[in-house]
Amino acid sequence: MKNLRLKSARAALDMSQQQLADAVGVSRQTINAIEKGDYNPTIRLCLAICKALGRSLDELFWED
């Protein structure tokens, strides 16, 4: 399932995939795969992404 919430939160901060990847210590391809729903990140990576984007786990990763 695509993670459009992650993509929109990143875009709202005018942050590229590469900038987010650099902030959390992964490759741009990893961020791309998470947004496309091709990769299930670890909880540690989820928390790092949330911190970098100023959002909560529920806002970015919780499925309704």
pLDDT digits (tens, 9 = 90+) for 3-37: 999 999 999 999 999 999 999 999 999 999 999 99
Residue type present at position 50: C
> What are the tens digits of pLDDT across the range 36-50?
999 999 999 999 999
**What is the signed CA dihedral for 9, 12, 18, 19, rounded to 10 degrees?**
-100
Helix (H, G, I), strand (E, B) or coil at 59: helix
Domains of the chain: 4-59 (1.10.260.40)
pTM of the model: 0.92
Exposure of 61 in the CB half-sphere (CA atoms within 13 A): 18
Describe the chain by its helix, strand, coil percentages, rounded to 5.
65, 0, 35
Distance, in Å, from the CA atom of 35 to the CA atom of 31, rounded to the nearest integer, reads 6
